[in-house]
């Protein structure tokens, strides 16, 4: 990851979402929270992630601080909730 731009690690859908939604929101509001994205592992497989970001202003320019969290367990939990809801509705 060192020496690479964050955008290079995103899936194609993640890159589109970056450009159309969360980059403009970060610019306008100064922060974003709980954004689901997929990063691409070196072996090509997608890795579900959750991120938070803050835009900081310094005399020399801006810095985007991004915290990225693995979201595999959260995705599993969400799928289980959806399955339970579907069963309950039947």
- Quote the number of domains for the chain: 1
Please check whether residue 59 lies inside any domain of the structure: yes
pTM (2 decimals)?
0.71
Q: For residue 63, which of 72, 53, 55 has the smallest C-alpha distance? A: 55
Q: Name residue, tokens 């970056």.
A: 18
Q: Which domain holds residue 81?
A: 6-89
The answer to whether residue 2 scores a pLDDT higher than 80 is no
Helix (H) or strand (E) holding 45: none
CATH number of 26's domain? 3.30.450.20
Please check whether residue 75 lies inside any domain of the structure: yes
The answer to whether residue 25 scores a pLDDT higher than 90 is yes
């Amino acid at each position: 990851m060192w020496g690479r731009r964050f955008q290079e690690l995103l899936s194609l859908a993640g890159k589109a979402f970056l450009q159309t939604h969360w980059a403009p929101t970060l610019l306008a509001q100064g922060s974003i929270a709980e954004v689901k994205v997929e990063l691409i592992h070196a072996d090509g497989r997608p890795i579900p992630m959750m991120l938070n970001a803050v835009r900081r202003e310094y005399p020399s320019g801006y810095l985007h601080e991004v915290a990225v969290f693995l979201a595999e367990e959260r995705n599993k939990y969400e799928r289980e909730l959806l399955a339970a809801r579907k069963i309950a509705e039947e």
